[in-house]
Structure 1
C-alpha cells in the first residue's frame, strides 16, 4: 500500500509538472530566469540521459509483458514507465530554463523545445493508459515507436544546437572526403580556414547557439566578433582573442574549443595562425602565396594540382642538400616528401656567382629560386638557365639589365618570373615567348608603362603582367621591414639584415628595445653586427607613404652550452612529450609569442627544476631564463629564479637568486629573458629553479588562481 501511495504522489507530480511545462512554454516570452534557476537549467545535459534510457527500456519491457510468464513483472514495468515520465518532464523543464540564456536563437531552438514537451506528454499519457495499451500488441508498438521517434528527433535537434549540423552523421559523410578542388582554384579562407571553423567552432558559435554572442557562419558575423570583441588583431603580438583562447591551457575555462570537445590538430591551429598573421584575407588564393610560404606548403598537403603535376625526377641526396645549406643560402623541399627544392638566398653582401654554380649538383631538383635583391647579373642567368625544372624565379631588384634573358629560354616549366626593380626593357621580354607555361611576370618599379602591356599581351596571351603602381601617385602603407637571420641565439657575434621590398624606403632601427623614430634613430645601410643580447625594432619611412608597422625581434647571446640536462620535475601533462627530457630547453630554438608551438614547456602545479651538466668545468656568471608572458592566458614571469652550482651534484651551493618584476596590468603577450647574475664561478653541474606565482594578482581576471610559467630556452653567460 505504501508503494502505491508513493506512485500516486509521483504521478500527481508528473501531471502538475506537465501542466507547469505547458504553461511556461506558451508564455515563455515573459519568462525571466533568476540565477538559482539558471543552475538548474545548466543541469539539463546531465539529466537528459535518464529519460532516454528509461523510455527505451520501458518500451522493451512492455513488449515482454505479452508473455504469461512475464505478467508477474508488471509492477516493475509500471515503475519504469513512471520513472520515465517523471524524468522526462524534469528534463524538459530544465531545457526550457536553459533556452532562456543568451546565445540561443529562439527560432532554431523551437523545434527541440516542442519535441521535448511532446516527449513529456507522451510518457505521461502512456503511464496513465498503460493497462489499456497492454491489451493490444499493436498499441504497445505504436506508442513505443512514437515515443522513440519523438525522442530521437528531440535528441538530434539538441545535438545540432550543441555540436552543429550533421553532427550525428558527419563521421560517415566526411570519411576520406577531402577537398575535391585543385590547388590552383583553392581559396585560403574558403577551402582551408572555413572547414576548420565549421568542424571545430561552429557547433557553439552558430545562429542557433551563439555562445558569447559570436556567430561564425558568415564572414560578416566572423569579422564582427562577439561580446568580447573582435576575434583577431594582426597588429597584436599574440594576434588577438582567437589565438589566445586556442593556446590557453586545456583546463582553462576560456580555452577553445572547450575541454571535452574535439580539439584542433597542430596543423589546424597552424593554419589559423598563419592565415591571421598573413592579414586574414578572405579572397586570396593558395597560389597567390609565395612558393616558400609556410601556409602554402601546408596547403600542398590538402590539395592536388589541376595539372596533376608529377615531378619526374629523383630527390637529391639529403646529405648533399644539407651540405649546400649555409646561413645565407637555404635549401628545403617545396612540400613534405616532394623531390622539388626551393632555394632562397639572403645577405646581398655575401652573395657570389660561385654560389649559383655550386648548385649544379642539384640543378635538376630546383623548382623555386629566390634571388630578390641579390647582385645577380645577366651573366649569372647562364647558370640559372640550366635549372631545367625551375617553376618560380625571383630576380626582383637585382642587377639584371635584360640582355641575359635569352639564357632562360630553355626553362620550359617556368610559371612565375619576377623582374621588378630591374633594368629590363619591354622589347627584351619577347625572347621568352617560347615559354608556354609562363603565367605570371612581375615588372613593377621598371620602365614598363600601361602602353607596353598591349603588345606584350599579344605575344604572351596566357601570361599576366603586373606593373604595380607608382608610389608618388598612390598613398599606401609601407610593407613592414623584415628582420632576416637564421638564428636568434649566438655565442660570439651575429650579423642581422633588415629589408624592405619597396624601393627607396628608409629603414630606421634601435637595438635597446626602444621605439625607432624618423629623425634620430640609426638608418639601416648594412647588416647590423650584434655582440650582446639585443632587442631590434625597425620601421620603414618614405615620403608620400604611410609609415610601416613595427618589426621587432629579440636576440640572445649564450657563450656556454651544457652537454646534457635532466629534469627533476616534470612539466604539466600536455607539455611532457614536448619537453623531450628537457632537450627542448637547450636546443637553441626560441619560440614566438605563442605557447602552442613545440619550443615552449609549461609549468603550473610544480616549480621547474633541472640539473645541467658540462663535460668540462666552465666559468659561469649568469643564466637567462627565456620566458613567455601572456597575461590573459595566466602566463606570468616566474616569481623566483635560483641558480645552484658546483663540481658535482653533491657539492651544489646557491650561486644566485632573482625575482623577476611582475606585470601590474593587462598587456599583449611578449617574450622576455630574465637573467640571474652572480659572481663568476667555475662549475661542472648546475641546478636551476623557476617557481610560478602561487596566486594571480587581484587585478587579474583569474585572481587567486595559480599562474603558469613557460620556458623555451636556458642561456648561459
Structure 2
C-alpha cells in the first residue's frame, strides 16, 4: 500500500519537473505529431483531476473534524490525494502539448495554461506537506478552499476557450438580450446573419480559439477568412467555402458545423446563402428586399416571432374581439398564441370616426393599424394616440393634413408610419424627429419637393424616408424560358416544348450542351423533335431587355427495360435502394438526400441487368448526379460488359467522362457508352469512382462519390 502511494508521488514529482522544464524552454520546443496526439487527450483526461481534487477537498472540509483511526479510510483518502496530484500533472502536460498547436488566442491560453500548472504544483505540494497542513483545522480548510478556487478558475478559462467567453458562469450572469427589431429597421447581417454565426460558429472561430486561423466575431476578420481562404465568393457557382462546407455530407470531416455540434436549420442556410448571393452587404436592410423574395419571407417570419416574444400585455377578451369584427373592420391576432392584434379597415364609404373610438376596448393589444384610403382626419389622431402599444400605422391616402401628427408622439413603440398620398408638408415632417422609436416613414406621392425631402433626410438621419421607386431608366432582365415537357425519359420521338410568357421573345437553344448565343444558335420553333439522349440548353432574348439565364434539361432515350436488375457490389448503406430503381424511369432530384439516388464510394458500382430474351443493344447510358462541392463526381470510367452467359461476358465498350476542373453548380448528367450492336441476355455495368479528389478540390485526396438513378439501354 505504502509502495503504491510513494510511486504515485515520485511519478507526480517527475512529471512536474518535466512540466517546468518544458515551460522554461517553451519557445525552443517543437511538438512532434505523436505528442500532438497525446495533447489532444487533454479534454478527456482533465475530468479525472477535477473530480479527484474536488472529492478530496470536500472530504477535508466536511470530515476533518471527525478524527478516525480506521487505517483503511485513511489510506483511501491519501490515495485520492495522490491520484489527484498524478492526474493533475498528466493533464497539465497534455494541455501543454495541445497549446503548441495553432489557432488559440495567446492571452487567453496563457492564463489557462498557468492556472493548470498551478493546480499541478499545488497538488504535489499538498501531498508533500499534507500532515503539516492538516494538523490544524484552519490550514486544512484554507488549503481545500484554495484547491477548489483553482479548479473553478482553470475550468472557467478552459471553457471560455473551448465553448466561448463566460461559458461556466453564463447561467448566473445577466443575459444581454438583443432587443427585437421590426422588419422595417432590421439589417440582414446584424439581426439575422450574425446571430447564426454566434450560435453555430463562433464557439470554434473566435479570438481565443481560432480554428483554422478563422475568427468570425467581427466584420473585418470575416472578410479576411482563414488559412483556407476567404469564406465566400458571390461570383462562384457554390458561393464559396462557407456554404461548401455546410453542404458537405454530415459524415465528412470537413462538414461544418462538425458532427455532434448543433447543425444549421434550413432557414439559417437560406439566410446565409441569399445574403452572400446578394453581395454580403453588412448594411443591407430587410426592407430593401422585395416582399416575394425568399430571403424576405424567412426574415419576416423570424423577426415577427422575435417581436411577438417581447409583448408584455395580456390577451384581449375573445368575445370583445369577435364583436369588433364587422364588414368594414377586421381584427385578427398577429400570430398564433400572440396577444397582439392587427386592425384593418376596407371600405371608405362605411368608415366613421366612431369606429376608431370603439377600438378603445382593445387599445393595449393593437400593434398594427391600417387606415389607408380611409377618410381619417387630423382630429382622429387623438384617438389613435391612445393605442399605447402600436408599432405600425398606415395612414396612406387618408384625409390628414399633418396638423395632428404631434398626437402620435405618445406612441412610444411606433416604428413604422405610412403617410403616402397625404397633404403633409416638409415642415410638418420635422415633427417626427421627436418620436422615440420611429424608424421608417413612407412618403410617396406627397406635396414635398425633392430638394425639400433631401433636406428633411439630412436633418433626420435617425429616420429612413421611403419616397418611392423610380425606374424610368431601368432595363429589366428576362425570366428563363419554360420547358413544358413533363417527361425526361422518352421511349419514342417527342416534340420539344419551350415557351416564354413575354410576347416578342426569341428562344435560342442547343442540343450538344454548349451555351446558346444570340447569333449562331438555332431559334426554337414548334415542331422541333427529340429522339435520343439530348442535353438541351435554352436562353430567351428580346430587344431592349437583358437576356435571360440559361435553362438546362436532359432528355434520355430508353428502348429496352431490363427484366431484372441486381447489384454485384452493394451501394453505400446511406444511399441504398432496390435494384429496380435503376430501371423505373423515375429521375432523381438535385437534392440527393431525398432518397431517389443510389451511391457508391468505398467500392465501385457493379450492376447486372438481365433480359428474358436475347436483345440487340448498341448503347448504355448512366444517368448521374454531379455535385462537386459535395464530393459527388462523374465516374472516372464506365465499362459495359455483355453476353448470353453471365459467366462469359465480353467487354462491349468503355467511356472516360471528362472530370470537372473547378467547382460548379450541381447538375444531372447522362453518360452514354456506345459500342457495336451486340445480342445479349446479360449486361454488366461497372462505374468506377474517383479514387482521389484533385488538388484544387477542398477535399483533395479524399474519395469521390458516384450517384446513379437510372440505367438506360438502347
User: TM-score, with normalisation over the residues of structure 2?
Assistant: 0.63
Please name the residue that 1:389 is paired with: none
Q: SS at the partner of 1:102?
A: coil
Please name the residue that 1:134 is paired with: 134
Please name the residue that 1:45 is paired with: 43
Residues 497 and 528 in structure 1, CA contact (< 8 A), matched pair in contact too: no
Please name the residue that 1:368 is paired with: none
C-alpha change, 1:584 and 1:89, in structure 2 (3 Å) is farther
Q: What are the Cα deviations for residues 259-290 of structure 1, in whole angstroms up to 9, with x where unaligned?
A: 33333344433443344345444344445444
Please name the residue that 1:708 is paired with: 705
C-alpha change, 1:699 and 1:109, in structure 2 (3 Å) is closer
Larger gyration radius, structure 1 or structure 2: 2
Q: What are the Cα deviations for residues 636-677 of structure 1, in whole angstroms up to 9, with x where unaligned?
A: 323455679999x99998996644425385554553322245
Please name the residue that 1:457 is paired with: 446
C-alpha change, 1:514 and 1:51, in structure 2 (3 Å) is same
Q: Residue 495 of structure 1 is aligned with which of 490, 494, 497?
A: 497
Please name the residue that 1:23 is paired with: 24
Rounded Cα–Cα distance in structure 2 between residues aligned with 1:690 and 1:440: 69
Q: SS at the partner of 1:59?
A: helix
> What are the within-5 Å matches in structure 2 for residues 389-468 of structure 1?
433=397, 456-458=445-447, 464-468=467-471
Mean Cα deviation higher: 209-218 or 78-87: 78-87
Rounded Cα–Cα distance in structure 2 between residues aligned with 1:438 and 1:565: 68
Rounded Cα–Cα distance in structure 2 between residues aligned with 1:675 and 1:411: 62
Unmatched runs of 5 consecutive residues or more in structure 2: 309-334, 337-346, 348-370, 375-395, 401-415, 421-441, 454-464
Residues 506 and 542 in structure 1, CA contact (< 8 A), matched pair in contact too: no
Rounded Cα–Cα distance in structure 2 between residues aligned with 1:607 and 1:122: 59
> What are the within-5 Å matches in structure 2 for residues 126-275 of structure 1?
126-136=126-136, 139-165=139-165, 167=167, 180-275=180-275
C-alpha change, 1:650 and 1:232, in structure 2 (3 Å) is same
Shift of 1:146: 3.1
> What are the within-5 Å matches in structure 2 for residues 453-532 of structure 1?
456-458=445-447, 464-468=467-471, 470=473, 482-485=480-483, 490=488, 491=490, 492-497=494-499, 510-516=510-516, 519-521=519-521
> What are the within-5 Å matches in structure 2 for residues 325-404 of structure 1?
none
Residues 183 and 300 in structure 1, CA contact (< 8 A), matched pair in contact too: yes
Please tell me the root mean square deviation across aligned C-alpha atoms, in Å: 5.6
Q: SS at the partner of 1:304?
A: helix
C-alpha change, 1:271 and 1:505, in structure 2 (3 Å) is same
C-alpha change, 1:165 and 1:674, in structure 2 (3 Å) is farther
Shift of 1:207: 1.5
Please name the residue that 1:553 is paired with: 552
Residues 655 and 678 in structure 1, CA contact (< 8 A), matched pair in contact too: no
Residues 623 and 671 in structure 2, CA contact (< 8 A), matched pair in contact too: yes
- Kindly indicate whether residue 89 of structure 2 is the aligned counterpart of residue 89 of structure 1: yes
Q: SS at the partner of 2:672?
A: strand
Please name the residue that 1:356 is paired with: none
Shift of 1:468: 2.8
C-alpha change, 1:522 and 1:698, in structure 2 (3 Å) is closer
Residues 620 and 713 in structure 2, CA contact (< 8 A), matched pair in contact too: yes
Q: What are the Cα deviations for residues 180-218 of structure 1, in whole angstroms up to 9, with x where unaligned?
A: 444444443333332222222212211112222211112
Please name the residue that 1:673 is paired with: 670
Rounded Cα–Cα distance in structure 1 between residues aligned with 2:639 and 2:419: 58
Rounded Cα–Cα distance in structure 1 between residues aligned with 2:558 and 2:103: 55
Shift of 1:33: 4.2
C-alpha change, 1:238 and 1:8, in structure 2 (3 Å) is closer
Rounded Cα–Cα distance in structure 1 between residues aligned with 2:134 and 2:685: 74
Residues 214 and 227 in structure 2, CA contact (< 8 A), matched pair in contact too: yes
Rounded Cα–Cα distance in structure 2 between residues aligned with 1:306 and 1:91: 44
Residues 620 and 681 in structure 1, CA contact (< 8 A), matched pair in contact too: yes
Residues 609 and 687 in structure 1, CA contact (< 8 A), matched pair in contact too: no
Shift of 1:106: 1.0
Residues matched between the structures, number: 572
Rounded Cα–Cα distance in structure 2 between residues aligned with 1:170 and 1:714: 57
C-alpha change, 1:29 and 1:642, in structure 2 (3 Å) is closer
Rounded Cα–Cα distance in structure 2 between residues aligned with 1:511 and 1:434: 58
User: TM-score, with normalisation over the residues of structure 1?
Assistant: 0.63
Shift of 1:467: 1.0
Shift of 1:61: 4.7
Q: SS at the partner of 1:150?
A: helix
Q: What are the Cα deviations for residues 53-92 of structure 1, in whole angstroms up to 9, with x where unaligned?
A: 3323333454557452654332333232222223223322
Mean Cα deviation higher: 696-705 or 262-271: 696-705
